[in-house]
Amino acid sequence: MKNIAIDGPAGAGKSTAAKIVAKKLGILYLDTGAMYRAIGLKALKLGINTRDIPAVEAMLPTTSVEIKYVDDVQNIFLDGENVTGLIREHAVSMAASDVSAIPAVRLKLVELQREIAKKNDCILDGRDIGTYVLPDANYKFFITATAEERANRRFKELMEKGQNVSYDEVLTDIVTRDRNDSTRAFAPLKKADDAFEFDTTTMSIDQVVEELLNRIK
Ligand code: DC
């Protein structure tokens, strides 16, 4: 199977570009962040503190996360409920980052990610795909952009969805998540030694897609 790994911090343009690349190559796109968001959402729903490791761990045996593709679009199911829209709420971002630092959460989700990657040609985006989930991926990318530009992009997305959040809140969230995600002990956000890195701050999505496709060919 052919696997392409795209890692990088929130808002670097990974998911938008990966979706287009997947379509052009006729392969699957797997958004691994959605899985961490689903677990974060469940903790929020249950009123569990997302930094309380034993409480989050205790919730895992009775938590199911499934991915289903509807017309080539990834849908995510939490305990049988389609939560694809709910996981994009602003509050869920930080909850996802918190629970993603817990090794038991990662082990559960990484198993599912590897299973999907084994069965399908696919492009996966996340934080640890090239370093931990699929160290033997055929192509590895690490994409970045300044925190301000990433916050701009996220802010625009959230505004389009009608969410009530300020630019400053989004920037604080991005900076805090960068720190959380890159300093956790287990499988942190990190460039794989053999990944190709580029900065998308001044690039359009079309240019990011072109850069990826040029290297994949
Ligand atoms: O890509 P995203 O913003 O939807 O991810 C939400 C959080 O999930 C992110 O802050 C860190 C975590 N995550 C992770 O730890 N590993 C991944 N492969 C994907 C996401």
Identify the pLDDT of residue 173: 94
At 200, the pLDDT band (50, 70, 90 cuts) reads: very high
pTM for the whole structure: 0.96
Percentage of residues in the chain having pLDDT higher than 70: 100
* Candidate from 31, 51, 89, 127 with most ligand 1 atoms within 8 A of CB, to mutate: 127
Q: What is the pLDDT of residues 133-177, one digit of tens each?
A: 999 999 999 999 999 999 999 999 999 989 889 999 999 999 999
The label of the residue with tokens 């794989």 reads 192
Query: 106, 60 in Cβ contact below 8 A?
Result: no
- Distance in Å from the first CA to the final CA of the chain: 16
In angstroms, what is the span from residue 97 Cα to ligand 1's centroid?
6
Any atom of ligand 1 within 6 Å of the Cβ of 132: no
Of 3.40.50.720, 3.20.20.20, 3.40.50.1000, 3.40.50.300, the CATH number of 3-191 is 3.40.50.300
Average pLDDT of the residues in 180-186: 96
Q: Is the pLDDT of residue 35 over 80?
A: yes
Q: What residue's CA is closest to ligand 1, atom 17?
A: 126
Any atom of ligand 1 within 6 Å of the Cβ of 7: no
Any atom of ligand 1 within 6 Å of the Cβ of 33: yes
Q: Is the pLDDT of residue 90 over 90?
A: no
Tell which wins on pLDDT, 67 or 164.
67
In angstroms, what is the span from residue 26 Cα to ligand 1's centroid?
24
Separation in Å, CA 117 to CA 30, 91, 216: 9, 29, 17
CA distance 122 to 46: 33
Any atom of ligand 1 within 6 Å of the Cβ of 177: yes
Average pLDDT of the residues in 17-28: 96
Separation in Å, CA 214 to CA 21, 139, 209: 11, 12, 9
Q: What residue's CA is closest to ligand 1, atom 9?
A: 97
Any atom of ligand 1 within 6 Å of the Cβ of 30: no
Identify the pLDDT of residue 18: 97
Q: What residue's CA is closest to ligand 1, atom 18?
A: 126
Domain boundaries, the chain: 3-191
Q: What residue's CA is closest to ligand 1, atom 6?
A: 33
